[in-house]
């Protein structure tokens, strides 16, 4: 692939300079040739930088050469500990960054691995992704200028622009020079449009990856997962359709079930609709189960808090009983201030309770005393 790249590139360059620049009017030829050469130079420059930039994982580089990598990738989340940002590569025999992958073509771990470019014969990672992306952009501009120039030449020729015909004849000589020129230009136009379409597709793909902030490798993993889930769903639907056909018999229902297997009827397939509803219901039940578990944890915490409050109330009741036994306050039990209640209070006992305390005692399973203080004294 790399050899093909370095063959196609100079061929397109030669064709432009030999067949287009001399045969176009100077007012069109000069500016288009300058733009074409600038795009060709930048495309070749960034392609060279991409191939010469070492995308090796910085920890592997440190392990092999004992020196830090000149393009060490910056860890985005500095708050994470180094232990959580390493994994062990059994091929390289060292710890590498978790997003690094071992390339079987380059035989090394690549930092923030994106993909192995067959056209440049190099791995693309965090160190050289920027130059790779610029290479794609300038290559597309290079091809686009070539297409525009060929199109301009063909339009002027078939419109009968005599200057174009005369310049072609004077440049190549011979009676059939114009036919050779037009034939070669049409052939290169088709080929260049094809190449530009492929590069444009690659450019749009990487623009989408940059928008989602993922790598090509991560995209492939995600796409593979989606295909696996789709295949799994298709198998479930097929098995369910077989079961439904056994129960349906040979009537109209069976005919509808068979028609649902066709791609054109996929949207109204009753079996698919049924399976998807069951899967949605299963997901809903699972979410409700998680919510129930979370609520039970909250309730447990609430019970623990109530127990703590209950113990505090018991301690407070003991302190008030002590104060009453010293004669500091008159004891009132359920509104009764009889001497018997004084004796009960002095001994730390109570014969009554506040309204509602019975229910709370039953709920907690423990007898408790609630103490309140008003302007007349303390009620227990």
Give burial (CB, 10 Å; 0-12/13-18/19+) of 227: exposed
- Token look-up 């303390």 returns 378
Average pLDDT in the chain: 75
Provide the pairing of β-strand 378-379 with 331-332.
parallel
For residue 171, give the nearest of 183, 160, 180, 158 by alpha carbon: 180
- pLDDT confidence of residue 93: 87
Judged by DSSP in three states, 8 sits in: helix
- pLDDT confidence of residue 331: 40
- pLDDT confidence of residue 174: 62
For residue 278, give the nearest of 239, 236, 306 by alpha carbon: 236
Q: Using the predicted structure, report yes or no on whether residue 101 has a pLDDT greater than 80.
A: yes
Direct distance between the N- and C-terminal alpha carbons of the chain, in angstroms, rounded to an integer: 93
Element (H, E) at 301: helix 270-325
- pLDDT tens profile 62-100: 888 888 877 664 444 333 444 457 888 888 888 888 888
- pLDDT tens profile 40-72: 999 999 999 999 998 888 888 888 888 887 766
- Return the bridge partners of 124, or none: 115
Residue range 27-34: mean pLDDT, rounded: 94
User: Across the chain, how many H-helices and E-strands are there?
Assistant: 11, 9
Q: HSE, CB side, 13 Å, CA atoms: give it for residue 144.
A: 12
Residues, the chain: 380
- Return the bridge partners of 95, or none: 88
pTM reported for the whole predicted model = 0.66
Low-confidence winner among 105-119, 203-217, 233-247, 328-342 (lowest mean pLDDT):
328-342
Q: pLDDT grade, residue 8 (50/70/90)? A: very high
Q: HSE, CB side, 13 Å, CA atoms: give it for residue 34.
A: 5
- pLDDT confidence of residue 221: 93
Comparing 69 with 12, the larger pLDDT belongs to 12
String of b and e for 142-151 (b: at least 16 CB within 10 Å)? bbbbbeebbe
Q: pLDDT grade, residue 200 (50/70/90)? A: very high
Q: pLDDT grade, residue 161 (50/70/90)? A: confident
Give percent of the chain with pLDDT exceeding 90: 33
Alpha helices, DSSP H, located in 115-261: 129-158, 162-172, 177-212, 216-248, 252-259
Tokens of 253: 């229902």
Give me the residue spans of the domains in the chain: 2-52+129-212, 58-72+84-124, 228-263, 313-379
């Amino acid at each position: 692939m790399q050899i093909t790249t370095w063959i196609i590139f100079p061929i397109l360059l030669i064709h432009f300079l030999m067949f287009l620049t001399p045969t176009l009017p100077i007012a069109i030829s000069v500016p288009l040739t300058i733009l074409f050469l600038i795009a060709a130079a930048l495309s070749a420059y960034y392609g060279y930088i991409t191939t010469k930039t070492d995308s090796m994982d910085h920890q592997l580089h440190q392990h092999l050469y004992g020196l830090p990598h000149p393009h060490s990738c910056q860890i985005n989340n500095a708050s994470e500990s180094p232990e959580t940002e390493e994994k062990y590569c059994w091929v390289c025999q060292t710890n590498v960054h978790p997003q690094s992958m071992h390339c079987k073509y380059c035989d090394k771990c690549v930092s923030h691995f994106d993909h192995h470019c067959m056209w440049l014969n190099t791995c693309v990672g965090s160190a050289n992704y920027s130059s790779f992306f610029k290479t794609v952009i300038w290559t597309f501009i290079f091809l686009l200028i070539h297409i525009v120039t060929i199109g301009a030449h063909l339009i002027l020729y078939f419109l009968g622009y005599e200057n174009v015909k005369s310049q072609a004849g004077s440049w190549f000589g011979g009676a059939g020079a114009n036919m050779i020129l037009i034939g070669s230009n049409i052939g290169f136009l088709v080929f260049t449009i094809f190449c530009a379409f492929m590069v444009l597709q690659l450019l749009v793909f990487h623009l989408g990856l940059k928008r989602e902030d993922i790598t090509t490798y991560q995209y492939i993993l995600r796409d593979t997962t989606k295909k696996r889930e789709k295949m799994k769903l298709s198998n479930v639907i097929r098995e369910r359709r077989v079961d439904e056909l056994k129960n349906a018999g040979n009537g109209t229902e069976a005919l509808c079930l068979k028609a649902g297997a066709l791609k054109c009827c996929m949207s109204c397939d009753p079996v698919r609709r049924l399976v998807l509803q069951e899967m949605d219901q299963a997901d809903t039940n699972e979410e409700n189960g998680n919510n129930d578990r979370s609520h039970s944890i909250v309730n447990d915490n609430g019970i623990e808090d109530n127990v703590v409050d209950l113990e505090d109330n018991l301690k407070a009741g003991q302190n008030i009983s002590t104060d009453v036994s010293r004669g500091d306050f008159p004891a009132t039990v359920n509104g009764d201030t009889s001497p018997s209640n004084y004796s009960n209070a002095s001994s730390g006992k109570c014969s009554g309770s506040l309204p509602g305390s019975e229910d709370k005692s039953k709920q907690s399973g423990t007898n408790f005393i609630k103490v309140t203080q008003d302007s007349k004294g303390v009620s227990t």
